Amino acid sequence: MGVLSSVRAVRWARKHQPERVSYWAALAHERFPPDDLLRQAVEAEEAGFDGVSCSDHLAPWWTKDTAPTNSGSAWVWLGAAANATQRAQIGSAVTSIVHRYNPVVVAQNAATLELLAPGRAFLGVGSGEAMNEVPAGMDWPAPAEQLERTEEALIIITRLLRGETVDFDGRYFKAKGAVLYSLPQRRVPVYLSAFHEGAAELAGRLADGVWTLGDPRQVPKVVAAYRNACEEAKREPGAIILQNVFSVADSDDAALEQAREWKGTLVDEHYTDPVADPAEIYRQGESEVPDPQFTKQIIASSDPNEHVKRIKAVQKLGATTMVLMNVSGGDPHAALRVYGESVLPELRAA
């Protein structure tokens, strides 16, 4: 993808931004227990977030020697969160669809969530990580096979959510007369996570939008691939969801320290290679992501204005939705209050 195409894609995305960008809070099952996350979901809605999403993991990115470890069931929790909240969009960010979940069950989960929270459910999906699939019995495949598996699963999921009876005989997944008998009136939107052009192209052909990290080096290429795929498939482009990580504390140093365990999420090999040991993931994160680089890629600051400035900069890449992941391990509840009082109002005032 040439530089010019990427630049044009960002210009196009900006032109098609809605007047009101949505802001979602992303909540981390890897770090916080499910009951505390439920409280965070309510607080995020009260703070003014338009949506609440949660990670979907079997394992955390570190061991208990580093930080508290958790791994609650995303889909059990989403049902509880749907009941505890009133207006926020709600869904997974993201559910891996290459092995641990059967795609028929994923579609069933998403449809049920929409029935419990009418007009509010969404489904974020992706190829996941070895750390969550290998413990469930998978031999972690090469990236090409990861993408093939994702495509097959996505075909089944989207067809079921459209109300079809699905027969599918794929290389990796099969369905025989599958149908969702509890089907909501509104079709649940499906967003595909994409860190590279191949997944973005798949999102353009099959999903309702693309979900990627708010990295200014990466976003233009992903958006360009997504837009081109939509045009080739003669589909209207959908959501462009950009995600950032934030940490709020009394000082910048404290904000960095309480987020340190998340460095492993910024190592590309943890998504492509068969690295499944949380201790190894943490060590590689500390080794390969020095603090200066880490603070450029996450928003770790005591100053709400710094959070506003950094989010605005990413938003200019063409986001329809900004997803802001709360990794404020010291006091996640206080961080949500800061966003409700000082960050979200400034973002919306602009």
pLDDT in tens, 186-216: 999 999 999 999 999 999 999 999 999 999 9
Q: Give the separation between CA 332 and CA 317, rounded to whole angstroms.
A: 27
| 5 has a pLDDT exceeding 80 | no
Q: What is the pLDDT of residue 16?
A: 82
Which residues are CB-contacts of 169 (< 8 A; sequence separation ≥ 6)?
none
The rounded mean pLDDT for the chain is: 96
| 182 has a pLDDT exceeding 90 | yes
| 98 has a pLDDT exceeding 70 | yes
Q: Is 99 a catalytic residue?
A: no
| 3 has a pLDDT exceeding 70 | no
Residue 174, CB half-sphere, CA atoms under 13 Å: how many?
3
Q: How far is CA 40 from the centre of its chain?
A: 17
Q: How confident is the model over 248-253, as a mean pLDDT? A: 98
pLDDT-based confidence at residue 1 (cuts at 50, 70, 90): very low
Q: What is the pLDDT of residue 312?
A: 97
Active-site residue, selected from the candidate residues 29, 57, 99, 307 = 57
SS (H, E, C) 203-270: HHHHCCEEEEECCCCCHHHHHHHHHHHHHHCCCCCCEEEEEEEEECCCCHHHHHHCCHHHHHHHCCHH
pLDDT in tens, 314-338: 999 999 999 999 999 999 999 999 9
Q: Which of 17-21, 90-94, 308-312 has the lowest mean pLDDT?
A: 17-21
Q: Is 57 a catalytic residue?
A: yes
Q: What is the pLDDT of residue 42?
A: 98
Active-site residue, selected from the candidate residues 43, 45, 129, 152 = 129
Q: How far is CA 69 from the centre of its chain?
A: 20
Q: How confident is the model over 93-111, as a mean pLDDT? A: 98
Sign, CA torsion 216/29/286/130: negative
Beta-bridge mates of residue 191: 124
Q: How confident is the model over 109-133, as a mean pLDDT? A: 98
pTM, entire model: 0.96
pLDDT in tens, 51-62: 999 999 999 999
Coil, strand or helix: which one is 339? helix
Q: What is the pLDDT of residue 2?
A: 47
